[in-house]
Amino acid sequence: MDIAISNTSDKPIYQQLFEQISVQILKGELENGYSLPPIRHAAIELRVSIITVKKAWEELERHGLIYTVTGKGCFVANLTSKEILQKRNEMLLKQMVIDISYYKSFGLTLDEVYELLKEIY
């Protein structure tokens, strides 16, 4: 578990958990079939509530990134590299559409956005 949680962030903790584990799976850092730590262990290690971990795990399952075997644990889904790429782009594009609509509201063109992004990167 290589997770960093911020209490003061405006993002709910379960969301932070979901996002970070999603990324790890979609980057291939967690292999197919990898067994996620039991909810209780993860909760203790991350110092969060069991409910919070459960919520994050549920969100992962809803996105088809993990599957649960009752009584055995949770495992990273068996995804082909094509499926991984597809899901990754799906998540990225979903966020980008939101981000871009914000930039557009200021009347920015694509090139202006690019210039600003370059500065930060």
Partner DNA sequence: GTGGTCTAGACCACG
Partner DNA sequence: GTGGTCTAGACCACC
* Distance of alpha carbon 30 from alpha carbon 26, whole angstroms: 8
Which residues, 6 or more positions from 75, have their beta carbon under 8 angstroms from its beta carbon? 33, 34, 35, 36, 66, 67, 68, 69
Question: Smallest distance from the beta carbon of 14 to DNA, in angstroms?
Answer: 4
* Distance of alpha carbon 121 from alpha carbon 116, whole angstroms: 9
- Answer yes or no whether residue 96 interacts with its own copies by CB under 8 A: yes
- Pick the closer one to DNA by CB: 2 or 119: 2
Q: Which does 40 bind (CB under 5 to 8 A by kind): its own copies, DNA, none?
A: DNA
Binding range to its own copies, per CB under 8 A, among 30-38, 39-47, 62-70:
62-70
- Answer yes or no whether residue 48 interacts with DNA by CB under 7 A: yes
- Answer yes or no whether residue 36 interacts with DNA by CB under 7 A: yes
Q: Nearest Cα to 59, choosing from 94, 12, 107?
A: 12
What letter would DSSP give residue 75?
E
- Answer yes or no whether residue 8 interacts with DNA by CB under 7 A: no
- Answer yes or no whether residue 54 interacts with its own copies by CB under 8 A: no
